[in-house]
Amino acid sequence: MTRSELDLVLDGLPGSLPIEIKLGLQVGKADLLPLHRFLDNLALLLGLLVNWGERVAQLSDRVVQIPIGWW
């Protein structure tokens, strides 16, 4: 089993929302692995990746990128 870490998990009434925070502008497949493992292990539908990207974007079928300055 490979260990991976996740930066933040918000728990609430609709369920858990895993969040990975990256300092870079671009995201590679390896950056999504911790989120996908967590989503698979808990059968969750959505995870967020927060970074310095330029726009909100869907990075995979279950991961959405949210730029730090978006809100």
1 occurs within a structural domain: no
Answer positive or negative: Cα dihedral of 45, 51, 57, 60. negative
Residue 3 lies in a domain: no
Domain for residue 52, yes or no?
yes
Domain around 58: 8-67
Considering the entire predicted model, what is its pTM?
0.85
Give the per-residue pLDDT at 5: 80
Question: Would 20 be classed as within a structural domain?
Answer: yes
pLDDT digit string (tens) for the chain, length 71 residues: 455 688 999 999 888 999 999 988 888 898 899 999 999 999 999 999 999 999 999 999 999 999 998 76
State the pLDDT at residue 1: 44
| Count of domains observed in the chain | 1
Q: Are 26 and 54 in contact (CB under 8 A)?
A: no
